């Protein structure tokens, strides 16, 4: 099924009508912010579940706040609009949802203030983000991660995805599945569009909130599941590049990538070179939870259909 509708200009309209001018500020300067949300089809219940939607809309509000964007809908209203749009689409398959807050003013002039803001939303059927979720080959990017004082990675800014795209394309053209991106100090930040976890000496480790990461909702999910279901606490600390090479396990996590195991970095196999036990257990838990199949975490899943 293809996308038929969008929420645009305050209403659900046919997707062909959801168009902007080439003079739109965000198209010229990257001045907007967005979210990426997944909805999962559960065939047994004939239900589409949106995963952690309020958390995504809270982050969209934070991104908007950082960028001086006015988002005229509450988290609850954004959720209602999303459900309405998905019902109209009638999707019965896994879906990716893209809310966008953009500077709709048509004209020239680099700034964030005194501009008209707009909100738009569309959704499309979506499968895997990386093909090799069970064994990614990664490289350390020659590009560096953006810094909080350049374009803040904490906000999901449209323009900052040039940094992600440079990393992703370099990795792909060099024959890898994904990139691992270091910050200006040379410590591990995250993937091109996903957070990173390492298992080393039985400890789960991930870079902290000041490592120029996007504060991922899947990252928070992984930490909670590791603690509550596997009895593993996550240590949040800087990670060196060469710690990656000697890690027992590595995995990416994010809405798009879900939980994808990294089995090779810079031509060094990680651990056994196969998916490790922690990554496997977290993946199994995650894929059940997102489809509403785990009662304890069912509150993370918003049903679309009545
Ligand atoms: N980092 C970056 C740069 C991202 O674009 C994403 C995807 N939104 C993530 C991390 C993962 O965040 P989340 O788990 O909230 O999707």
HEC sequence for 114-135: CCCEEEEEEEEECCCCCCCCCC
In this structure, is residue 298 part of a structural domain?
no
Judgement on whether residues 179 and 240 belong to the same structural domain of the protein = yes
pLDDT range class, residue 42, cuts 50, 70, 90: very high
Q: What is the DSSP letter of 233?
A: P
In sequence order, what DSSP letters do the residues of 47-77 get, joined into one string?
Answer: EEEEETHHHHHHHHHHHHHHTT----S-HHH
Transcribe 141-156 into DSSP letters: EEEE---TTTS-TTS-
Instruction: Note if 296 is an active site residue.
Output: no
Lookup result for tokens 């809908």: 73
Ligand 1, pocket-test mutation among 53, 152, 194, 207, most atoms within 8 A of CB: 194
Same domain, 105 and 222: no
Question: Who's near 214: CB < 8 A, 6+ residues apart?
Answer: 153, 154, 156, 190, 195
Phi, psi of 270 (to 5 degrees): -100, 125
**Residue 167 shares a structural domain with residue 81:** no
- Same domain for 252 and 161, yes or no, is yes
Query: Mean pLDDT, to the nearest integer, of 153-162?
Result: 98
- CATH code for the domain in which residue 101 is found: 3.30.470.10
- Residues 27 and 108 both lie in one domain: yes
Last residue of a domain, one of 125, 158, 192: 125
Query: Distance, CA 191 to ligand 1 centroid (Å)?
Result: 9
Regarding pTM above 0.95, the answer is yes
| 91 and 197 together in one domain | no
**Where does ligand 1 bind, in terms of residues with CB under 6 Å?**
36, 164, 190, 193-195, 214, 216-219, 254-256
Do residues 58 and 89 share a domain?
yes
Within-domain flag for 296: no
In a domain, 306, yes or no: no
> Which tens digits make up the pLDDT trace of 275-303?
999 999 999 999 999 999 999 999 999 99
Q: Is residue 27 part of a domain?
A: yes
Going by pLDDT thresholds of 50, 70 and 90, the confidence category of residue 131 is confident
Count CA atoms closer than 13 A to 132's CA, side-chain side: 15
- The confidence score (pLDDT) of residue 159 equals 98
Same domain for 26 and 49, yes or no, is yes
Q: Could you tell me the CATH number of the domain that includes residue 278?
A: 3.20.10.10
Task: Confirm whether 260 is domain-assigned.
Answer: yes
Radius of gyration of the chain (CA): 19
User: 136-150 burial by CB neighbour count: b if 16+ within 10 A, else e?
Assistant: bbbbbbebbbbeeee
- Nearest Cα to Cα of residue 161 among 177, 132, 181, 184: 181
Q: Note whether residue 16 is domain-resident.
A: yes
Distance 12 CA to ligand 1 centre (A): 27
Query: What's the number of domains the chain is made of?
Result: 2
Q: Of 100, 125, 150, which marks where a domain is finished?
A: 125
Q: Is 295 among the domain residues?
A: no
Cβ neighbours of residue 301 closer than 8 Å, sequence gap 6 or more: 40, 49, 50, 51, 289, 290, 291, 292
Tokens of 300: 């993370």
Same-domain check for residues 68 and 183: no
Do 79 and 167 belong together in one domain?
Answer: no
How far is CA 198 from each of CA 167, 219, 244, 245, rounded to the nearest angstrom?
A: 20, 12, 7, 10
| Confidence at 265, pLDDT banded by 50, 70, 90 | very high
Domain assignment of residue 303, yes or no: no
Q: Are residues 111 and 164 part of one domain?
A: no
Look up tokens 């909670």; give the residue: 224
Provide the residue range defining the domain that includes 211. 136-290
Q: Which of 99, 125, 151 is the last residue of a domain?
A: 125
Domain identity same for 77 and 9: yes
Report the alpha-carbon distance of residue 192 to residue 207 in Å, rounded: 14
Residue 293: what pLDDT? 98
């Amino acid at each position: 099924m293809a996308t038929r509708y969008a929420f645009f200009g305050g209403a659900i309209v046919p997707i062909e009508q959801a168009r902007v001018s080439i003079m739109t500020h965000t198209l010229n300067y990257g001045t907007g912010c967005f979210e990426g949300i997944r909805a999962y089809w559960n065939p047994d219940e004939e239900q589409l579940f949106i995963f952690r939607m309020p958390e995504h809309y809270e982050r969209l509000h934070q991104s908007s706040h950082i960028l001086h964007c006015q988002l005229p809908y509450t988290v609850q209203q954004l959720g209602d609009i999303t459900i309405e749009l998905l019902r109209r689409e009638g999707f019965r398959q896994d879906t990716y949802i893209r809310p966008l807050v953009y500077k709709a003013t048509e004209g020239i002039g680099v700034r964030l203030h005194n501009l008209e803001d707009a909100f738009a939303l569309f959704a499309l059927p979506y499968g895997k983000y990386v093909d090799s979720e069970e064994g990614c080959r990664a490289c350390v990017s020659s590009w560096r991660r953006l810094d909080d004082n350049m374009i803040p990675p904490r906000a999901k800014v449209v323009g900052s995805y040039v940094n992600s795209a440079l990393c992703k394309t370099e990795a792909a053209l060099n024959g890898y599945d994904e990139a691992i991106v270091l910050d200006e100090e040379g410590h591990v930040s995250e993937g091109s569009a996903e957070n990173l976890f390492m298992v080393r000496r039985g400890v789960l480790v991930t870079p902290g909130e000041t490592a120029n990461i996007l504060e991922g909702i899947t990252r928070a999910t992984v930490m909670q599941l590791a603690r509550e279901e596997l009895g593993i606490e996550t240590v949040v600390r800087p990670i060196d590049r060469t710690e990656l090479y000697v890690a027992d396990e590595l995995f990416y996590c994010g809405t798009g990538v879900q939980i994808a195991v990294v089995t090779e970095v810079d031509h060094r196999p990680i651990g056994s070179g196969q998916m490790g036990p922690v990554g496997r257990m977290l993946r199994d838990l995650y894929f059940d939870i997102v489809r509403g199949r785990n009662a304890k975490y069912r509150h993370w899943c918003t049903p679309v259909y009545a």
